[in-house]
Amino acid sequence: MKLQLVGCSHHTARVELRERLAFSREQVPEALRRLRSAWPDAEAVLLSTCNRVELYTAASRVEQAPTGDEAIEFLADFHGLRATEIAGELFQRNRDEAIRHLFRVAASLDSMVMGEAQILSQVKEAYQLASDGEFTGPLTHAAFQCAMRVARRVATETAIHQRRVSIPSVAVADFARQIFERFDDKQTLVIGAGEMSRETLRYLVDEGARKITIINRNLERARELSTEFGGEVAPWDELAHHLTLADLVVTATGATEPIFTLDQYRAIEADRYQRTLFVLDLAVPRDFDPAIGDCLGVYLYSVDDLQKACETNRRQREKEWPKAQRIIDLETERFLADWNHRITGPAIQQLRESTEVVKQAELQRLLNKLGSVDDQVESEIRASFDRLVNKLLHPPLESLRHEAKHGTPHGLLDALRRLFQLKD
């Protein structure tokens, strides 16, 4: 069996690379279809968020899934890039480390803001998208379902998720607060109506934001957000007009390229009369051309700019880290032991079936020679044969179970198949 992870995160890659590799929700099924076309027997889950792009692949046989280099090539090809452009900033994890990494991600131990709640829902969505398209299988089902259970353990058995802090809360408390003393008199423009926009709005409303305009390509979703938090809804083609009026902008769309360029900003700049404009660009790829941040009076922050504040948050929660890490380590060991045991299952089943055939043949031959025996005697004979076979099988099967706790027992499995002439 093979499980592999290839990807990048805010720990390893700059936002410029992450946005080039990011997948929209609509692109994920297409990417998985292409991968299945190239590797028909491979399982796959693709996780793409503002902070990470991770491709998990699995197969019962090594040759049925892409190698690490092939997975990198696949990610590059999908986005029209050369593998050599991205290989140096991607990481690869195999089997044990891939499982451990997945558990840490789901439990938000690998997040920019440790303990943030959004990542688990993103992991669930990625798994659900893959399952809906039938790109998952027994290995990825087991891994992702266990990851969700591990995340729940970390949430309930540690204080990492207490007083939850997320990227939006850090953005508002540590960045917007530096620019504005109050929010009730500021024109707030929210672009996009997804979960990131919803969560950021929640914090802004708590801080007093009242003058809110929501713009989204899907007007119905914008209205749902407006109903929840108040404010007005505006059509997409009025984006430039509302940017002219805005003091604070939160943008988190799923666009694959900037929705507002430097030239577009230059066209409205004079009408803003040098008023301060604070922009939280929480999208990956970024919604605003980074060059807009160099304009007079513009404070433009991306998710990577939140890193320092998030590190402060991480240090405050580090005392809970050892407890959470122990849970991750324990659950990883349990999962791998179970996985390794499952690998030995077919060989053990074949061994039992082959010995059962031999046992029954010899038992019947003995009973035929003995002639008529009463039921009690026959029962004792059968029990003796069962005990003999079980005692003979116990040492090799116990050795397999012991080795499975420490890794896949390929050597013992191969020896078992050869000694007892079992077929793969």
Angstrom distance (rounded) from CA 188 to CA 71: 42
Helix (H/G/I), strand (E/B), else coil: 280: strand
Catalytic hit among 50, 146, 295, 310: 50
Angstrom distance (rounded) from CA 307 to CA 319: 20
Report, in this order, helix, strand and coil percent for the chain, each rounded to 5.
60, 15, 25
Does residue 295 carry a catalytic annotation? no
Angstrom distance (rounded) from CA 261 to CA 258: 6
Cα-based distances in Å from 50 to 9, 135, 302, 394: 9, 23, 10, 52
Angstrom distance (rounded) from CA 304 to CA 19: 11
Q: DSSP per residue over 154-189, as a string?
A: HHHHSSTTTT---HHHHIIIIIIHHH-S-STTSEEE
Per-residue buried b or exposed e for 1-14, using 16+ beta carbons within 10 Å of the residue's own CB = bbbbbbbbbbeebe
Q: DSSP per residue over 84-149, as a string?
A: HHHGGG-EEEETHHHHHHHHHHHTTSSSSSTT-SHHHHHHHHHHHHHHHTT---HHHHHHHHHHHH
Do 243 and 281 meet the contact criterion of CB atoms below 8 Å apart?
no
Helix (H/G/I), strand (E/B), else coil: 286: coil
Q: DSSP per residue over 3-14, as a string?
A: EEEEEEETTTS-
In the chain, what is the straight-line distance between the N-terminal and C-terminal CA atoms, in Å?
A: 13
Do 302 and 286 meet the contact criterion of CB atoms below 8 Å apart?
yes
- Omega before 285 cis (within 30°)? yes
Task: Record the tokens describing residue 134, joined without a space.
Answer: 């039938």
| Residue positions annotated with a catalytic role | 50
